[in-house]
Structure 1
Amino acid sequence: MATNAPWLIVGAGALGQLFAASLAQRQRVVLLGRRPTRHVIRLRKPDGTDHQIPARRESLEQWSGPESPALVILATKSHHGKTALDALASRLPPQTPLLLLQNGFLLQPRLTEQWSGPVLCASTTEAAYRPATASGMDLDPDSPTPDVIHAAAGETWIGDLADRHVTLATRVAECLADAGMKAAACQDIRHRLWRKLAINAVINPLTAIHRVRNGELASRAFRPRVAALIAEIAHIMQAEDVPPPAQGWDVFIGDVIQATANNRSSMLQDVLANRPTERDAILGPLEEAARHHGLHLPAIADLYRQTPP
């Protein structure tokens, strides 16, 4: 990975803007979105302070960098990832490394097989969202509305599914750490992605269906359904050879619900904004694994049917 070449971040949603704003202070970055806009990201940090961070921003369709990027960070929603990469692929050297930030476990194995260069996957607990009033067409740098709100600092783990690119994962993690983000390379990224999927499969669909914040899932009304989902997810994880967390799946997922009680899940945000959800990326792998292992999991099947697409 060239040390002086820019990094491309594809996708100007909350996570894409957060990574771009953080990295831009230490690394040459270009943020590619649906349309060109002002070359600044207005970031509100967890402590409530607002910062305007200069960052080069261009549209995905018009970008034609004079030099090859050192890394492409794909920060789109899962269902947009392949389309965005296809639109960009002809302008990239075939061995360009990718870093995937998507939820779920659908795009990661597919691109790992299909992309000719190294493919890294990230599991992150960084929490960020875009305010409902933020607009990419707002060109006023003095606007008080932030583009992205960093709700809570988390940790990012980076690795590849075949465990072939440890050195690259370590270098990328070091660059993120230099930019002030807590990050580390790992050799069990598949397990971490499955564990995050387990959390998202409980929290995202239920909060989207009922339009509630995460903490409501700890209430008595939701306990039977949450317990049924966790039990079925545990069966899938066992079949996929994913070891349970030390405290068990119930406590593991329950702790996340409590820790993020005031958060609106990403799927709920999509529903409220009339955007497509990541139902297939989050619940699809569970249903596919159930079919593969011959498991009958009615709670997950019902959840898939009720979740907005």
Structure 2
Amino acid sequence: MDGQGPASSDDAPWLIVGAGALGQLFAASLAAFRPVILLGRHLAQPAIRLRKVDGTDVEIALARERLKDWIAKRGEYSVPALVVLATKSHDTQTALDALTPSLAPTTPLLLLQNGFQVQPRISEHWAGPVLCASTTEAAYRPMPEPKPKPKPKPEPEGDSHSDFHLSRPDVVHAAAGETWIGDLAGRHAALATVVADDLSQAGIAATACADIRLRLWHKLAINAVINPLTASHGVRNGELTRVEFRPRIEALISEIDRIMRAEGIKPPAAGWQALIDGVIEATAANRSSMLQDVLAGRPTERDAILWPLIDAGLRHELATPALTALYRATLA
């Protein structure tokens, strides 16, 4: 059974687990078109302040709960049509394990994680359909600003919301991208189409695909170069065009190319170097997600992004000195 029915129900909510940048972006975008519940670690107001790509701010009302509270009050909510796991890769299995007793065994899942670590494992063990997404949507949560010393001011006149656009947003949609959706076994094409159509209607350009494994590996190659280098050196993506980074990038790409060939992953038409250089150029002003994690003092996705390549190198008896050195130099 493909599982199209539940996810296409208009009145059943999508449960989005993980209130990071991507989880908030997806929740805020979808909330105008279908019921959404956003689950996170902390208590939050039932709204998201989103700064759109054009720089305007909007406040979107939607249901928000702590994960543990939703589990405790499970009977008060409708059965979710789809569970979107938007946590960091190292938190995904723990979040799913906590949710599992409260979900029907065949509930469809959509995985938004970086890397290629949790996707095969969950796809193999979850009884229901498991979709994977590869997305180039760019979003971030602004760093908290130091609180200025209070100064006495006269009460402002006029609209009480006059300072709306001066307030710090919860999430910034830095750049629109593309999202590809499919399942690793190729059994749920109709469900992938339904989910992609719903996302596209909500303003997140999405397409169902039959080659999601290929797309996840291609994104893994990009992330394995950009994320750890920017995080370990504390630079934005565009700084990787500096001449001192070129030998390291070329060494990483050489190892990645050999690993991909051994895994049976076709290279992009223009080659790995052109693909990665193009992303660095297109995202020059961005801080990578791993750099954002380092700056915020959060655990990084080092294992999810670098270890699948190193592990594949070990399985195929390929030397990976550049990848291994980068793994050791990157904060966990």
Same fold (TM over 0.5): yes
- 1:171 pairs, out of 179, 191, 194, with 194
Q: Supply the distance in 1 between the matched residues of 2:44 and 2:292 (Cα, whole angstroms).
A: 23
For 1:152, the aligned partner's letter is A
Partner SS, residue 168 of structure 2: coil
- Which residue number in structure 2 is paired with residue 300 of structure 1? 323
- Which residue number in structure 2 is paired with residue 9 of structure 1? 16
Shift of 1:202: 0.1
Identity %: 65
- Which residue number in structure 1 is paired with residue 158 of structure 2? none
Deviations 1:258-277 (A, max 9, x none): 11111000000000011100
- Which residue number in structure 2 is paired with residue 23 of structure 1? 30
Q: Supply the distance in 1 between the matched residues of 2:297 and 2:29 (Cα, whole angstroms).
A: 28
- Which residue number in structure 1 is paired with residue 108 of structure 2? 97
- Which residue number in structure 2 is paired with residue 217 of structure 1? 240
Q: Supply the distance in 1 between the matched residues of 2:181 and 2:69 (Cα, whole angstroms).
A: 29
- Which residue number in structure 2 is paired with residue 201 of structure 1? 224
Q: Supply the distance in 1 between the matched residues of 2:140 and 2:42 (Cα, whole angstroms).
A: 19
- 2:48 pairs, out of 31, 36, 41, with 41
- 1:114 pairs, out of 121, 125, 147, with 125
Partner SS, residue 237 of structure 1: helix
Shift of 1:217: 0.8
Where does the alignment leave 5 or more consecutive residues of structure 2 unmatched? 146-160
Partner SS, residue 268 of structure 2: coil
For 1:105, the aligned partner's letter is F
Partner SS, residue 242 of structure 1: coil
Q: Are 2:92 and 1:69 aligned?
A: no
CA RMSD in angstroms, aligned pairs only: 1.3
- Which residue number in structure 2 is paired with residue 57 of structure 1? 64
Shift of 1:35: 2.0
For 1:29, the aligned partner's letter is V
Partner SS, residue 41 of structure 1: strand
Deviations 1:210-251 (A, max 9, x none): 000001111101000000001100111111111111111111
For 2:283, the aligned partner's letter is T
- Which residue number in structure 1 is paired with residue 152 of structure 2? none
For 1:132, the aligned partner's letter is M
For 2:257, the aligned partner's letter is A
Deviations 1:127-172 (A, max 9, x none): 00000128xxxxx995811000000000100000000000000000
Q: Supply the distance in 1 between the matched residues of 2:188 and 2:263 (Cα, whole angstroms).
A: 23
Shift of 1:116: 1.1
- Which residue number in structure 2 is paired with residue 85 of structure 1? 96
Shift of 1:10: 0.1
- 1:265 pairs, out of 265, 288, 304, with 288
Q: Supply the distance in 1 between the matched residues of 2:37 and 2:236 (Cα, whole angstroms).
A: 33
Q: Supply the distance in 2 between the matched residues of 1:265 and 1:99 (Cα, whole angstroms).
A: 23
For 1:21, the aligned partner's letter is A
For 1:181, the aligned partner's letter is I
Q: List structure 1 runs of 4+ shifted beyond 2 angstroms.
A: 140-143
For 2:143, the aligned partner's letter is A
- Which residue number in structure 2 is paired with residue 127 of structure 1? 138
For 2:82, the aligned partner's letter is L
Structure ranking higher in helix proportion: 2
Deviations 1:85-137 (A, max 9, x none): 11111100000000000000001001001111110000000000000128xxx
For 1:5, the aligned partner's letter is A
Q: Supply the distance in 2 between the matched residues of 1:129 and 1:66 (Cα, whole angstroms).
A: 29
Q: Supply the distance in 2 between the matched residues of 1:115 and 1:154 (Cα, whole angstroms).
A: 29
Structure 2 counterparts to residues 285-296 of structure 1, below 5 A: 285-296=308-319
- Which residue number in structure 2 is paired with residue 248 of structure 1? 271
Q: Supply the distance in 1 between the matched residues of 2:172 and 2:326 (Cα, whole angstroms).
A: 30
Q: Supply the distance in 1 between the matched residues of 2:143 and 2:125 (Cα, whole angstroms).
A: 36
Please identify the structure whose Cα radius of gyration is greater: 2
For 1:41, the aligned partner's letter is I
For 1:71, the aligned partner's letter is L
Number of equivalent positions: 304
Q: Supply the distance in 2 between the matched residues of 1:244 and 1:113 (Cα, whole angstroms).
A: 26
Partner SS, residue 123 of structure 1: strand
Where does the alignment leave 5 or more consecutive residues of structure 1 unmatched? 135-139
